[in-house]
Chain A
Amino acid sequence: MTLANIWFFLVALLLTIYVILDGFDLGAGVLYPFLGKTEEDKSVIRASIGPIWDGNEVWLLTGAGAIFAAFPMVYAMTFSGFYLAIMLVLFGLILRAVSLEFRHRDSSWSAVWDGAFFLGSLVPSLLVGVALGNVIRGVPMDAQGNYIGTFVELLNPYALLVGVTGLFLIIQHGAAWLAVKSEGELHGRALRYRRVTFWVCAALAVATSAATILTVSRASDNVFGRPAGWLFLAILVVGLLYAFWQMMREGGEFKSFVGSAVVIIGLAGIAAVGNFPDMVPARGTPEITSLTVERAASEHLTLLVMLILALIFVPLVLVYTALIYKTFWGKTKAGDADY
């Protein structure tokens, strides 16, 4: 196991934690206009993610930073190659970050901030998946690792399918979270949305799998040809069944949410195994210009220093993150937003 491979695993881990944690608050944002019928419901939805969403988003910033440090060529290629898409994600994240705080302080613009919260949640939830779809499918690039395709090419059917699948994965995850945190009518609505979006997501995941097997055989061969691939497939199936079982049970909200997190681990693992040892495969010239783990990685000392930092600080972060979740455990009340 080389350092570069360890960093491939760590980057995948950071991004998986990101999808699990920020996924539910992004999902809550997408569901906000649909579930938040009354002012009180809206207040509960915002307060349920209020203390934690910012920390959740830091997993993305740290993940992006880790890619920059450990795989500079991947960072440069994806961020500049997917320029407009990344910028739209960025604008979404900006609007969302500001809207949550400003909504509370600024009642006269509440409609503006509600809209910004919804759009700012929707756009990243969709586009991150589209970017992942393109990475799995492979993109045309030159020898230096520059994307040489067009913007429209990024909106191919496969990438869009992965994007929509990711969006629904995040929506059902957000609904699961709101079912955990809410009471009364809002709780009932969250459960109903969860059940519907869960099935939509499952159907889309099947479609994505079929599309991958049919059109991106490199990835599916990798998954089926490796023990790790089968492991994550098993995790996915277990997570799906558990999430479904608990979803149908009275009082199983939290366990079903955990099941949803397990599903995310399974899917992320499958994507990572399917891509390895490529970080970003080159479409058309895979042997020559693909950004493999080894080719894209930083040199030994950088990877080592980063690994030491990660081994010290990731556990520390997990401990105090758990502390914060514990502090705000339980059903969110409307008054919780009054700080």
Chain B
Amino acid sequence: MDAVMLARIQFAFTIGYHFIFVPISIGVGMMVVFAERRYYKSGVPADRAASNFWIKLFTATFAIGVATGITMEFAFGTNWANYSRFVGNIFGAPLAAEGLIAFFLESTFLGILLFGRKKVSKRFYYVSAWLVWIGSLLSALWILIANSWMQTPAGYKIEGGKAVLTSFWQAALNPSTAPRYFHTVAATIITGCFVAAGVCAYYMLKKRHLHFARTAMLWAVSVGLLVSLAMPLIGHWGALVVAEHQPVKMAAFENITETQKNAPLYLFGWVNGDGSTTGVSIPSGLSLMLGLDPEHEVTGLDSVAATDRPPAQLTFQSYHLMIALGGLFILVFGLALLMHFLKRLENARWMHWALIACIPLSLLAINLGWMAAEVGRQPWVVQGLMRTTDAVSPFVSAGEIWTTLGLFGLIYLVLFIAWIRIFLGIIKKGPEDTAEMLQAEKGIAPSPAGAGR
């Protein structure tokens, strides 16, 4: 295998791995804020125990997210030196800003969450929980700004063989920044809600920590449903931007081989060897979706040379699987909430298992979304400006990348095993049982309605 392919595999592997932990951190970070707010208002030990529990899950995941994030910042220099030289004027700034504005906030106030419960006031602690979460959202913002510039570059000119900044705001708020940011953050919140709901479902299965589980489950399922219902709208916004600025990517999403009116929208399908698609589609669906008109003309893959098209099958499948999973999530959250109101949720074992299964599925969906976005942009690393094959470090050999790829594989495997053990260990142990919580579980204290407040 050549060095370019190896560099791509290394980047795909390390970013995909990193992106298991980031969504969990951001999502569970939200649960920390909710729980800490509750404790800040009530002062009840049971609420503090609940908050501490989420903080444990959050920090165990955050640690590995931070560690594997360093890899990504370094990767541009180590493996993509030509890319770095070409876009450094523009792409470096958001990375530096991410450190300066987001990482410091997160990591500094994380110290308070970890070590400060007995050292600072309740209010300071509560504010710290917010700052850590805001920090993680800001981090996502800067990295999405950087990545969106690769999709829809703006605010630049090409000068002396490199991209030079002409407008900071145009580059930062390029056409795809906003829809892609909201899309990604919404996806991390859905993941977080499934982690929370899955944990609660596990306790309901085991009939443990029921007071805690009822409270958090209602939060997780309500927020999850709300956000996953908003997702099709946010996704649609993103799709419109893709169709306008990256029409070839849009064509690859639906495998529209020829520019056409009445372009179909596939629910699922398979790209055949000859380039045609077999599957179930809504006739004229894509034209309707993009132009509100069945006669709307959709740009096809034939608008560019074959060498300028992304790999068809991978783009098509990752995109459609992501959407299918998004539909499933609405269904699961909706059913779970309905069953909660019918007071059936606590004893519905199959629903508990469904919620638990949705944890890995939500992680799969968010990674498929990234695959669709990144693979769909190929062969470009910066849309229309630089090819991925031209972006690598010219003097880093295949042997060197094999070496590091092997080490990444080994270290990341060990870390994954460790993280899974620790994460499940925290869940198994559960939130600290305060006397009051035990009382509540015996049914003496709050009524089920009160428990869901």
Contact = CB atoms under 8 A, between A and B. Distances in A.
Contacts of B109: 320, 324
A41 to B, nearest CB: 18
Interface in B52-95: 56, 59-60, 62-64, 66-68, 70-71, 73-74, 76-79, 81-82, 84-85, 87-93, 95
Interface string B260-304: 000000000000000000000000000000000000000000000
Nearest to A313: B100
B112 A146 contact: no
B372 to A, nearest CB: 27
Interface in A292-332: 298-299, 301-302, 305-306, 309-310, 313-314, 317, 320-321, 324, 327-328
Main secondary structure of the interface of A (DSSP, over half): helix
Contacts of A148: 395
Chain B at the A interface: mostly helix, strand, loop or mixed? Answer: helix
Contacts of A70: 92, 96
A69 B73 CA distance: 12
A101 B421 contact: no
A76 B400 contact: no
Contacts of A73: 85, 88
A327 B109 CA distance: 11
B259 interface: no
Contacts of A2: none
A245 interface: no
A77 B421 CA distance: 40
Contacts of A106: 418, 421-422, 425
Given A101-B59, A105-B60, A328-B119, A75 B165 contact: no
B393 interface: yes
Interface residues of A, number: 68
Interface string A272-309: 00000000000000000000000000110110011001
A313 B103 CA distance: 12
B161 to A, nearest CB: 10
B60 A51 contact: no
A68 B96 contact: yes
Nearest to A89: B74
Which residue of A50, A51, A80 has the most chain B CB atoms within 10 A of its CB atom?
Answer: A80
B78 A86 contact: yes
Interface in B365-410: 393-396, 400, 403-404, 407
Q: Using C-beta atoms within 8 Å of the partner chain, give the interface range for chain B.
A: 35 or more
A65 B396 CA distance: 21
Contact of B81 (A79, A84, A309, A310): A79
Contact of A309 (B56, B85, B97): B97
A327 B73 contact: no
Contacts of B404: 83-84, 87
A80 B393 contact: yes
A102 interface: yes
A147 interface: yes
Contact of A91 (B87, B97, B162, B407): B407
A87 B75 CA distance: 9
Given A58-B99, A61-B103, A327-B112, A102 B400 contact: no
B398 to A, nearest CB: 12
Given A302-B165, A327-B120, 12 more contacts: A57-B107, A58-B99, A65-B100, A75-B76, A80-B395, A94-B68, A98-B63, A105-B60, A146-B394, A305-B93, A328-B119, A336-B115
Interface of B: 56, 59-60, 62-64, 66-68, 70-71, 73-74, 76-79, 81-82, 84-85, 87-93, 95-101, 103-105, 107-112, 114-117, 119-120, 159, 162, 164-166, 168, 393-396, 400, 403-404, 407, 411, 415, 418-419, 421-422, 425-426
A-B CB proximity, top 3 nearest: A72-B88, A79-B77, A69-B92
18 contacts: A54-B66, A54-B110, A62-B100, A68-B76, A75-B84, A79-B81, A83-B78, A91-B407, A102-B422, A105-B426, A146-B393, A147-B395, A301-B168, A309-B97, A313-B101, A313-B104, A320-B104, A328-B119
